[in-house]
Structure 1
Amino acid sequence: MNNDHVIKQSVQHKKNDNREKGKNGSLSWWQLSLMGIGSIIGAGFFLGTSLSIKTAGPAILIDYLIGGMAAFFVFCALAEMTVRDPAPGSFRTFAKKAFGNSMGFASGWMYWLAGVLIMSSEVVALATFTRFWFPHIPLWIFTIIYSVIAFGINLLGVKNFGKIESTFALVKLTTLIVFVVFGLLLVTHVISPHAVSLSTKNVFHTFFPTGIKGMWAALIFVFFSFGGIEMIGIAAPELKNRSEVPKAGISMLIALVSVYILSIFFALSMVSWTHINASKSPFVSALMTFNIPYIDSIFNIIIISAAFSTMVGALFSVTNIIISLAEDGDAPRLFAEKNKKGTPIKALLLTGAALAAFLIFSFILPGTIYEYITTAAGVMLILNWTIILSSQIKLRSHREKDQKFNMPGYPITSYLGIALIFTAVSGGLLRGTQRMGVFISLGLIVVIFISYWVIFRGRHIVTPHKLREE
């Protein structure tokens, strides 16, 4: 491919980007906010919170405050860049403008790989939860069914996808709010528990039972609970009014932090943290003390809806990222193509093929190995936050302060966010499974950078200096 042809393609892609920026989207800010919630609250929170509680005890509440603060800093950095330039590709485009082609390449492929791995773990969880009612049906049948439905939803277009994700988000939020209200009525003795002696002293007695070390080790699980906030930036070009990105994200984070902390607080008020089983949802453990009929089935349905909407949201995000990578020459250009309805069939097929491969691995590999890999996916997702914050710091230094939206407390909050992320990831080194996940994630990141230098570096003709000028 000669340079003239490459230049012509680059100019054409720039024109396409500019047209995309000027196009009115179909989503309102509250739909985008709910889409973000739908992508973030997954089975990991409803089920995996038990492990973090067993690791940190009641001090997990402080971890969620720290996690919420870090997520807020990351979102504000992303919102500042997105409001000024709602470019397709979101954070990876900003990373490219800030640090050059290699960082944009690495950020995009880190997110795509992590997203596909998380999707594979979610669909396996979906199949496992569904077998609760149908134990004789093979697991692989349910994985195929859920995968086909998820891809079908993404084929419906952004507007219909937004409606479906918003519905799932409302189900999850409503569940947690009902749980919080139930806990509040119990604590205030509006309704009286018959089976247990309820007191908030269960929460505050020995608040740091495993010490600072336990709280530090659990922090990475908490950060995983906020994974997916990048969805706001990726879907921002679909907003009717793109200046409402901050409103959508801040509303989303307020709702998330509130229901996370309050629901865990009341769960610990209903049952001592020492009685929580790491293999069972802490909310089920809390409610089972009241002998509520069919509580396992009820929460099974809720966890299925949580896992499924997270999977659908991840599919939307990674598909858009692969399109952005292809448009910039960081992936084969055929994956940027869309049909007459605007559906990226080839990008979806690539993601589907990768998902199928990882699902096969999940059945072949030993459980511990697959757990290492899925943990690595979560670590890569969190490490990508440092790229977002670093990009915001670099790009802010090259422009005047924007009046539309600015990172509160810049630059202190930007650097503090990076410090909190590294604190959480380093805490993962304290436990065997998480330690292996951290090492694998670092290894995968090295492979991604090597792939760029070996395969894709020669395809780029635009220098980082020119990108920053644009």
Structure 2
Amino acid sequence: MDNDHAFHQAVLHKKTENLEKGKPPKLAWWQLSLIGIGSIIGAGFFLGTGLSIKTAGPAIVLNYLIGGITAFFVFSALAEMTVADPEPGSFRTYAKKAFGNSMGFVSGWMYWLSGVFIMSSEAVALGTFTRYWFPHIALWIFTVAYAGIAFGIILLGVKNFGKIESTFAIVKFSTLVIFVFFGLFLLFNFISPQSVSLKGFSDFHPFLPTGIKGMWSALIFVFFSFGGIEIIGIASSELKNKDEVPKAGIGMLIALVAVYILSIFFVLFMVSWTAINESKSPFVTALSIFHFPYIGSIFNIIIISAAFSTMVGSLFSVTNIMVSLAEDGDAPKAIAKKGKRGTAFKALFLTGFALAASLSLSFILPGKIYEYITTAAGVMMILNWTTILSSQIKLRKGKNQNSEHFKMFGYPFTSYIGIVIILLGVSGGLLRATQRMGVFISLGLIALIFLSYFFIAKRRGFSEKK
């Protein structure tokens, strides 16, 4: 019996090898982990953390711990479904299996639409950062150039995309690690710069200077810093071994949460939280007290690399979601086809057209209106986390509990706790005017996507009858 089993396993392995021949190159688990880091650590963390600190004060450290735990719950739910049932459409396919066609449609288009607006905001940010050195060159030239380079990287294929994103991830992650080590050297007096006063913790400040309300309203910004964890599920279809999805994601999240919390802790150690504002990177504010030469330019380069790799990661993931939508008939079937390098050219072209329209809006609409839209995009991406957790709860029921597949820790309590924390964080956005408008716009867009589904489903049913 054992020999027969071994024989069948060998035959199955050989068949798998034969099927893999001629297919695009696959990713290793560590590449998937680095792609996740590259897609998550964006300009929002290096620059936008200033607004979070100003809103919550030192309590922002606790917020990042809460955000990290919530992101871990979401990833664990996605990893469980991915390992048990690998699907190219990732979370939107699981939403469809759990709740029907409508949720698969809504989840996919929510993610695609939010991804397009996020890419657009990253492209505009890239142009703005680059004008730091070239203020006389028009913003749109840099914006279009960065978008073009991002599309060029995707066209190179999955393997090259993995290498490039991994490189960017190493740059960003290494920067934060170096900053953390610098903070440790200061903390333990391994280095003592002369004529520099570390005022972060020297003056007493309460842990909750802006109260529970400030901490609550800042939670949504922290969630934005973890936005992009879905790419682990989407890119897992390109993984050599699907069972390594948990290894890739858990390693990524542990490293990410540790470096987020420690880097913010050392910012607050170096300078008082009251000296930090949203117009300047808190890292630049902290390091400026040491009078390092060219610190502004150095961090500008880092922020550019962070924003660019986030944009490329988003482009990869939304294009793959578009392919999944097309394969299910929720988008034109013709755009599902992929080339030899694993690139879906038609889906990429359609996404590029939408990105061009979004970029045009960024230059036409008043800045405040466009800020509302980009905030709404972030809210939609975070709300999609509740879909992932809800799908996992529904799909786990009735399955074999003794399965050897990866299982989410603490089910079902961790799934429900994750949903509650996410909704709590999004509701905290209602406390600030800009975020409040973003939340309302996101709910409006979700309602519009739902209506679109029923309109399309009705037309589809009419066509089938004819």
Question: Do both proteins adopt the same fold according to a TM-score greater than 0.5, normalized to the shorter chain?
Answer: yes
Query: Is the counterpart of residue 455 in structure 1 residue 456 in structure 2?
Result: yes
Letter in 2 for 1:361: L
Contact 1:323 1:347 in 2 (8 A): yes
**1:425 corresponds to:** 426
Deviation at 1:198, TM superposition (A): 2.3
**1:294 corresponds to:** 294
**1:413 corresponds to:** 414
C-alpha change, 1:141 and 1:265, in structure 2 (3 Å) is same
**1:468 corresponds to:** none
Spell out the pairing of 1:42-441 with structure 2 (5 A cutoff). 42-198=42-198, 201-202=201-202, 205-401=205-401, 402-441=403-442
- Cα separation, 2, equivalents of 1:383 and 1:203: 39
After TM superposition, the structure 1 stretch with the greater mean CA deviation from structure 2, 180-189 or 306-315, is 180-189
- Cα separation, 2, equivalents of 1:56 and 1:381: 23
Letter in 2 for 1:237: S
Contact 1:187 1:199 in 2 (8 A): no
Deviation at 1:399, TM superposition (A): 1.1
Deviation at 1:265, TM superposition (A): 0.3
- Cα separation, 2, equivalents of 1:278 and 1:357: 28
User: What TM-score, normalized to structure 1?
Assistant: 0.92
Contact 2:35 2:313 in 1 (8 A): yes
What stretches of structure 1 of length at least 5 have no aligned partner? 1-18, 462-470
Q: CA RMSD in A?
A: 1.5
Deviation at 1:150, TM superposition (A): 0.2
- Cα separation, 1, equivalents of 2:134 and 2:25: 42
After TM superposition, the structure 1 stretch with the greater mean CA deviation from structure 2, 343-352 or 379-388, is 343-352
The aligned length equals 441
- Cα separation, 1, equivalents of 2:64 and 2:203: 15
Letter in 1 for 2:423: F
Spell out the pairing of 1:5-24 with structure 2 (5 A cutoff). none
C-alpha change, 1:457 and 1:391, in structure 2 (3 Å) is farther
Could you list the runs of 4 or more consecutive aligned residues of structure 1 that deviate by over 6 angstroms after TM superposition?
A: none
Contact 2:380 2:442 in 1 (8 A): yes
Letter in 2 for 1:382: I
- Deviation string 1:362-409 (CA, Å, 9 cap, x unpaired) is 001011000000000000000000000000000001311232200100
C-alpha change, 1:204 and 1:388, in structure 2 (3 Å) is farther
Contact 1:38 1:306 in 2 (8 A): yes
Contact 1:40 1:227 in 2 (8 A): yes
**2:28 corresponds to:** 28
Contact 1:329 1:459 in 2 (8 A): no
Contact 1:25 1:237 in 2 (8 A): no
C-alpha change, 1:269 and 1:457, in structure 2 (3 Å) is farther
User: What TM-score, normalized to structure 2?
Assistant: 0.92
- Cα separation, 2, equivalents of 1:45 and 1:182: 19
Letter in 2 for 1:411: P
Letter in 2 for 1:383: L
Letter in 2 for 1:442: L
Deviation at 1:459, TM superposition (A): 3.6
- Cα separation, 2, equivalents of 1:330 and 1:86: 20
- Deviation string 1:217-251 (CA, Å, 9 cap, x unpaired) is 00000000000000000011111111000000001
Letter in 1 for 2:421: L
